[in-house]
Amino acid sequence: MNSLIPVTIVTGFLGSGKTTLLRSLIKLKQNRRLALLINEFGEVAIDGALIRDESANSNHIQIHDFPHGLIAYGDDEHFIPTLQAIAERRAQIDHVLIETSGLALPTAIMELLQTPELAEIFILDATLAVVDTPLLLADEFEGNQTQTSPQAAVANLFKQQLEYADVVVLNKIDALDENALLRAETRIRERAPNVRFLELAYHAKLDIRLALGLRLHQSTLSAHNHRFTPLASMPNSNAGVLDNHRSVDGHAHSGLANHSHGLATHKHFHEQDPGWLSFVLRSQDPQQPDVLKNALTETAKAAPVLRIKGFILTNQSKEAILVQGVRTRMVISRYDAKKSAQVSEIIFIGYHLNRNKVASLLSQLTATQWQ
């Protein structure tokens, strides 16, 4: 009998740095042959393009895009056939990495991995939740979960992503001191006390040994049932935050409690909260990067925009310029892959967004036409 193919799920809220982390793991993959499933909540696969460019020189990376909605949720007809196709090439695959949309829970994937079609081929290795640590410390994930508002929706989704994770990766921490990291760990433990491992990603990099091959789940097979169960309870399940992160060489393994993922709580995303929206705005007009950056910042202040990403056309170069935004934090940078741009395309993701309002405001602020 062939050994089961391990699957690692990488989840995390919008803009947490999942794609950047995956790109670094690809660089550090050693001799692993990887299959990557990239899910984006939008009609344009920006993250998939970035991953492809990182792996362009590797013959051991297979990439599958899942745009338009959420991977493995109720109306996704491609997830199981894609994994079955990967299984047919199992001699060429050592590990499967799945990046979920920033608005998804990992439970949908975890549930389908237990189905008869997949249970005898794949096994969950671990679920990683990537966290935008500065936003965590700025109270951007706080909210009254009984209210209907962008802040409440963010808080609720963020908490659930943590609860279903085996490993939480504190990302974007390069400017934070040790006290700030301890505060961040405390906040994670308060929301999800049963998270097994807490890791630190400096420069969006994580030791591949802390991400792949963790074997945190084992399969339990019977004639009528297949399910993933966590490995035996870990020691120090009541441990608090670490007094000194340096003592564990850059990562924390405190609070290693056994936990259950509660797959029965999974619902179709749009049934759970239909307020999350995504759309793409396009412009044929060349953009001035500084003007556009200010315009996007002002737009994010005026509308409930939580994530912005895309490529733009400028009059300075025929090559595409990469745009990345998390709330009002905007970065516009040259794109190493030298992608040509015929039109500017930017994805906007937020809560109860008004497309016409965003397009009108952006057109006004840039003095160009967006639609």
Same domain? For 297 and 210 the reply is no
Residues 317 and 257 in one domain: no
Same domain, 241 and 127: yes
Distance between CA atoms of residues 92 and 155, nearest Å: 40
Instruction: Give the domain-ending residue among 269, 303, 331.
Output: 269
CATH number for the domain including 122? Answer: 3.40.50.300
> Does residue 257 sit in the same domain as residue 281?
no
State which of 228, 244, 269 marks the end of a domain: 269
- Residue 42 predicted with pLDDT over 80: no
Domain boundary pick from 220, 237, 269: 269
* pLDDT score of 278 more than 90: no
85, part of any domain: yes
Is residue 11 located within the same domain as residue 146? yes
Based on the structure, what is the number of domains in the chain? 2
> What are the phi and psi torsion angles at 131 (to 5°)?
-120, 135
What pLDDT, in 10s, does the model give residues 58-71?
A: 567 888 888 766 78
Residue 371 lies in a domain: no
Closest CA to 324 of 105, 15, 92, 2: 15
39 and 185 fall within a common domain: yes
Answer yes or no: do 225 and 291 share one domain: no
pLDDT at 30: 65
Q: Which domain holds residue 168?
A: 5-269
63 assigned to some structural domain: yes
pLDDT of 263: 45
In a domain, 183, yes or no: yes
pLDDT score, position 64: 87
Any domain includes 72: yes
Tens digits of residue pLDDT in 332-349: 987 655 556 688 999 898
Are residues 294 and 209 part of one domain?
A: no
Domain assignment of residue 180, yes or no: yes
By percentage, how much of the chain surpasses pLDDT 70? Answer: 75
Residue 11 lies in a domain: yes
Beta bridge partners of 242: none
How far apart are alpha carbons 256 and 203 in whole angstroms? 25
Looking at the structure, do residues 246 and 130 belong to the same domain, yes or no?
yes
pLDDT of residue 149: 76
* 209 CB-contact burial (10 Å; exposed 0-12 / middle 13-18 / buried 19+): exposed
Same structural domain for residues 196 and 309? no
Q: Are residues 340 and 210 in the same domain?
A: no
Is residue 90 located within the same domain as residue 182?
A: yes
Q: CATH code at 331?
A: 3.30.1220.10
Q: What is the mean pLDDT of the chain?
A: 80
pLDDT band at 162; cut points 50, 70, 90: very high
Q: Look at residue 282 and tell me whether its pLDDT is greater than 50.
A: yes
Tell me the average pLDDT across 205-210.
89
With a CB cutoff of 8 Å and minimum separation 6, the contacts of 89 are 62
Question: Which of 85, 273, 252, 269 has the alpha carbon at shortest distance from 167?
Answer: 252
> Does a structural domain hold residue 177?
yes
CB neighbour class for 99 (10 Å; exposed up to 12, middle 13-18, buried from 19): buried
Over pLDDT 90: what percentage of the chain? 46
